[in-house]
């Protein structure tokens, strides 16, 4: 493990805690700079997400930033959707999945750039 990898993990962890997209940046670092295969990088990113999201959740609950009724309304549909779509993605052509994700990222980026 290099100093750059530790620094990238630290910076991405802090950004993840603030909801800025540190996980996406970590994926880019791992695949583009560290030479890790995409599938392995995705698995590492999912494992990495657990402690960073737990730390952020504790902080947000402590500071009263969580709307508990919204969490209850969103949790079950969110988990069901994630399970169905993960199954669909696992059985989809990877080239098509890459294109769809790229289109999704462009749409989100445009909305964020031009939105309020």
Instruction: Give the pLDDT confidence score for residue 1 in this predicted structure.
Output: 66
Which pLDDT tens digit goes with each residue over 25-56?
Answer: 899 999 999 999 988 999 998 888 888 788 88
Answer yes or no: do 73 and 54 share one domain.
Answer: no
- Is the pTM value of this prediction over 0.75? no
4 and 41 co-located in one domain: yes
Dihedral class, residue 79 (left if φ above 0, else alpha if ψ from -120 to 50, else beta): alpha
The number of folded domains in the chain is 2
| pLDDT at 106 exceeding the cut of 80 | yes
Q: Are residues 52 and 108 in the same domain?
A: no
CA distances from 101 to 3, 38, 75, 93, 94 (A): 31, 14, 23, 12, 10
Same-domain status, 55 and 16: yes
33 shares its domain with 80 = no
Please tell me the predicted confidence (pLDDT) of residue 116.
Answer: 75
* Distance from C-alpha of 29 to C-alpha of 8, rounded to nearest angstrom: 7
């Amino acid at each position: 493990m290099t100093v750059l990898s530790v620094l990238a993990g630290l910076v991405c962890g802090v950004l993840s805690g603030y909801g800025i997209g540190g996980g996406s940046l970590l994926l880019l670092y791992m695949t583009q700079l560290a030479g890790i295969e995409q599938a392995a990088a995705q698995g590492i990113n999912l494992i990495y997400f657990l402690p960073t999201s737990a730390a952020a959740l504790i902080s947000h609950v402590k500071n009263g930033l969580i709307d508990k009724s919204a969490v209850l309304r969103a949790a079950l549909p969110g988990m069901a959707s994630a399970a169905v779509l993960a199954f669909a993605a696992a059985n989809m052509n990877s080239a098509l999945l890459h294109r769809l994700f790229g289109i999704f990222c462009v749409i989100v980026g445009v909305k964020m750039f031009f939105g309020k």
